[in-house]
């Protein structure tokens, strides 16, 4: 379907009739509708879906008639709301689809429920006739399920890959019209079943045989397909591993081993440093422990000398204490306790003794005790101090040397690792492990499948043999047999065609999306866009790592979604224009520029309608896209009776 024009009347902020023609397919296939925010771009998208499906893409609760027209309308007067889209179908016929809601103003605040009219008129140049089954027409030519693939909201495109993957796969198959072939396969299979049932009624045993063959064939086909997929998957994963290993090799020596070596050396260095720390500490403690004896030794010797002197003089140990003799004289007593008169011979003897006795005898006990303690302390003198001290010093010097050597070894390894990030290497290595795991998984699956096939294929052969014997015995029902065989033939060839198409669509979609994305996007770190059998989309980075499509920035996601959708549109057989509302909002300038440069190339022969803001429609983008622009409009807002009115200029 080629969209020729759209006519809007009193639809939301469009007052009175407004009409826009769209650029046709061909060299100038792009229509630009430029307007700032809230000027009516999204309303235009809503008008299209309202006209086609009686539902706005972004539905709102407010009435769809224009508020300014409502204000100007007298009570009981009519307010017609109309959207008419003119198109041309693949046979060159003009198609006019119009939806009209007629409202009647019943009070100053409200309208009655509208009279509704929806019609489609076909004009082949000779006859002009209305379509009777309008809904059928829409479902066949413009199914609502395809709405998401020709009417896009740029802001929501980033959410495109957040959809359930099963849905994306379904959408891709629907857009590529593979579902038609799928229907054929299902249908023919159903027919075959019916013929078998018919036979069953005549010969249940034979029909049972056919059922078994059928089931087994299905199972074998599935296994064979899975086998191919698993083998492809192994091949693909081996390729990834090869790329990753090449990248590792490009670093020179095995960087992982070098990083391990570096970690080991660092650990050893830390041990040595701890040993050194501990050795210094014990050395200090050794010095402190011996300080007092070494430094105080002379004092200990001095007291010893004094002690010897006093011993020689007989003061220590003392026979008498001077204080005791003085006490006896003072009390006029003898040692035995008898009275001693002053001047007596015994008294005089004690007096002489007292004079000869030194006062030191009074403290002889204390001195004796001190001498004993000093002697005992001195006996601990560290005779081997210098020897042990040297040993400890040498131990430290050795540790210092070892530390220096270790640091040098680390520097040497570091030199080899210059410019290599450990994280990058670890990532690559874990990616390799991941792919190796996948390969192992595939190998296990292959093993299981091969076991199944080894069991099922001879079984099938035997069943086919049994069937032939049964047929020769029956010799009847040739017609039904022929029909069943025909169905089998059609089923097999359709299935094989289907598989080939799926494969081809998948490969083309992947390469075209990658090509488009790389042209649009400035970042060369994304090597490839990978679309797997289930249409999960992932980025493969240059270093071989994979990231999901939903991971990068909004701008990158939008670029990917645009690439994917335009690639899909180029591959699909469906002829519909591409409408994109605010497609460039989240994109950087250089991506916009690239989009301007390459979008026309990828949307050749397709109508493209871009609804853009002034900011989006930058001069760089404009320069590139101008040669392909067939129609260009500007939406402006005027204010009437306090309401904003969109005008198309």
Instruction: Using CB under 8 A, list all residues that contact other proteins.
Output: 280-281, 283-285, 287-288, 290-292, 294-303, 306, 310, 323, 359-360, 362-363, 366-367, 370, 373-374, 376-377, 380, 382, 385-386, 389, 393, 396
CB-wise, 77 or 404, nearer to other proteins?
404
Phi and psi (nearest 5°) for 100? -130, 130
CB-wise, 360 or 453, nearer to other proteins?
360
Helix (H) or strand (E) holding 116: strand 115-123
Give the nearest distance from C-beta 336 to other proteins in angstroms: 22
Give the nearest distance from C-beta 319 to other proteins in angstroms: 17
Task: Report the distance separating Cα 327 and Cα 183, nearest Å.
Answer: 138
Task: Report the distance separating Cα 63 and Cα 560, nearest Å.
Answer: 37
Who's near 553: CB < 8 A, 6+ residues apart? none
Q: Residues 456-464: contacts with CB within 8 Å, 24+ apart? A: 456/216, 456/219, 456/220, 456/223, 457/220, 459/216, 460/213, 460/216, 460/217, 460/220, 463/209, 463/212, 463/213, 463/216, 464/213
DSSP letter, residue 500: H
Under 8 Å between Cβ of 1 and 142: yes
Say how many CA atoms lie within 13 Å of 255 toward its Cβ.
24
Alpha helices in 35-133 (DSSP H): 41-53, 67-72
CB-wise, 235 or 375, nearer to other proteins?
375
Give the nearest distance from C-beta 280 to other proteins in angstroms: 6
Q: How many CB atoms lie within 10 A of CB 601?
A: 12
Nearest partner of 610 among 18, 181, 34, 15, judged by Cα: 34
CB-wise, 24 or 362, nearer to other proteins?
362
Give the nearest distance from C-beta 366 to other proteins in angstroms: 5
Give the nearest distance from C-beta 353 to other proteins in angstroms: 18
Give the nearest distance from C-beta 326 to other proteins in angstroms: 9
Give the nearest distance from C-beta 539 to other proteins in angstroms: 55
CB-wise, 36 or 396, nearer to other proteins?
396
Residues constituting the chain: 649
Give the nearest distance from C-beta 410 to other proteins in angstroms: 23
CB-wise, 131 or 293, nearer to other proteins?
293
CB-wise, 378 or 546, nearer to other proteins?
378
Give the nearest distance from C-beta 589 to other proteins in angstroms: 58
Who's near 280: CB < 8 A, 6+ residues apart? 396
User: 528: helix, coil or strand?
Assistant: strand
CB-wise, 93 or 311, nearer to other proteins?
311
DSSP states along 547-600? EETTSS-HHHHHHHHHHHHHHHHHHS-----EEEES-STT--HHHHHHHHHHHH
Give the nearest distance from C-beta 427 to other proteins in angstroms: 43
Give the nearest distance from C-beta 267 to other proteins in angstroms: 24
CB-wise, 97 or 325, nearer to other proteins?
325
Pairing outcome for strands 30-34 and 629-640: parallel
Give the nearest distance from C-beta 282 to other proteins in angstroms: 9
CB-wise, 201 or 384, nearer to other proteins?
384
Nearest partner of 518 among 618, 596, 594, 418, judged by Cα: 594
Pairing outcome for strands 608-612 and 578-581: parallel
Give the nearest distance from C-beta 339 to other proteins in angstroms: 22
Nearest partner of 628 among 648, 649, 608, judged by Cα: 608
CB-wise, 359 or 478, nearer to other proteins?
359
Q: Which residues of 452-479 are buried (b: 16+ CB within 10 A; e: fewer)?
A: bbeebeeebeebeeebeeeeeeeeebee
CA dihedral 351→356→360→365, nearest 10 degrees, is -70
Find the radius of gyration of the CA atoms of the chain: 51
């Amino acid at each position: 379907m080629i969209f020729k024009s759209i006519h809007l009347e009193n639809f939301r902020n469009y007052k009175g009739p407004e009409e826009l023609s769209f650029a046709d397919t061909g060299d100038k296939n792009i229509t630009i509708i430029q307007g700032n925010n809230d000027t009516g771009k999204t309303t235009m998208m809503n008008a299209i879906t309202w006209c086609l499906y009686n539902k706005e893409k972004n539905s709102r609760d407010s009435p769809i008639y224009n508020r300014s027209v409502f204000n100007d309308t007298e009570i009981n007067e009519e307010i017609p709301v109309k959207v008419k889209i003119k198109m041309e179908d693949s046979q060159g016929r003009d198609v006019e689809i119009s939806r009209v809601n007629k409202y009647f103003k019943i009070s100053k605040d409200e309208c009655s429920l509208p009279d509704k009219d929806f019609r489609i008129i076909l004009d082949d140049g000779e006859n002009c006739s209305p379509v009777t089954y309008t809904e059928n027409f829409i479902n066949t030519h413009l199914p609502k399920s395809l709405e998401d693939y020709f009417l896009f909201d740029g802001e929501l495109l980033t959410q495109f890959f957040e959809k359930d993957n099963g849905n994306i796969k379904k959408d891709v198959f629907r857009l590529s019209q593979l579902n038609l072939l799928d229907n054929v396969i299902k249908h023919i299979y159903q027919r075959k079943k019916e013929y078998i049932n018919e036979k069953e009624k005549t010969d249940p045993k034979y029909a049972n045989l056919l059922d078994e063959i059928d089931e087994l064939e299905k199972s074998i086909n599935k296994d064979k397909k899975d086998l191919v997929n698993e083998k492809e998957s192994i091949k693909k994963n081996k390729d990834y591993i090869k790329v990753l290993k090449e990248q590792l090799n490009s670093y020179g020596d095995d960087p992982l081993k070098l990083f391990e070596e570096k970690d080991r050396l660092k650990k050893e260095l830390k041990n040595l440093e701890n040993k050194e720390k501990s050795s210094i500490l014990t050395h200090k403690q050794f010095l402190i422990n011996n300080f007092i004896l070494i430094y105080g030794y002379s004092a200990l010797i001095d007291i010893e000398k004094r002690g010897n002197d006093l011993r020689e003089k007989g003061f220590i140990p003392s026979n008498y204490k001077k204080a005791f003799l003085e006490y006896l004289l003072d009390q006029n007593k003898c040692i035995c306790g008898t009275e001693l008169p002053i001047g007596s011979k015994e008294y005089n003897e004690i007096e002489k003794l007292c004079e000869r006795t030194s006062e030191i005898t009074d403290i002889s006990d204390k001195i004796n005790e001190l001498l004993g303690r000093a002697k005992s302390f001195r006996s601990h003198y560290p005779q081997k101090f210098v020897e042990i001290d040297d040993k400890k010093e040498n131990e430290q010097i050795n540790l210092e040397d070892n530390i220096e050597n270790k640091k040098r070894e680390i520097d040497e390894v570091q030199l080899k690792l210059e410019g290599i990030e450990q994280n990058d290497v670890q990532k690559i290595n874990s990616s390799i492990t991941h792919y190796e795991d996948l390969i192992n998984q595939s190998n296990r699956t292959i093993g299981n499948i091969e076991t199944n096939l080894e069991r099922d294929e001879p079984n099938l052969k035997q069943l086919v043999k049994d069937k032939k014997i049964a047929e020769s015995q029956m010799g009847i029902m040739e017609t039904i047999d022929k029909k069943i065989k025909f169905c089998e033939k059609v089923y097999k060839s359709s299935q094989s065609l289907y598989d080939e198409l799926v494969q081809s669509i998948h490969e083309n979609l992947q390469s075209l999306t990658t090509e488009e994305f790389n042209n649009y996007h400035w970042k060369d770190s994304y090597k490839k866009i990978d679309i797997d059998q289930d249409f999960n989309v992932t980025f493969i980075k240059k270093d071989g790592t994979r990231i999901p499509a939903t991971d990068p920035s909004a701008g990158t996601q939008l670029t990917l979604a645009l690439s994917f959708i335009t690639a899909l549109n180029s591959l699909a057989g469906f002829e519909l224009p591409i409408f994109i509302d605010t497609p460039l909002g989240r994109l950087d300038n250089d991506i916009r520029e690239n989009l301007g440069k390459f979008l026309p190339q990828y949307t050749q022969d397709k109508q493209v309608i871009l609804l853009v803001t002034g900011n989006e429609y930058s001069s760089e983008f404009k320069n590139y896209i101008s040669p392909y622009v067939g129609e260009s409009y500007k939406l402006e807002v005027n204010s009437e009776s306090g309401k904003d009115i969109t005008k198309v200029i």
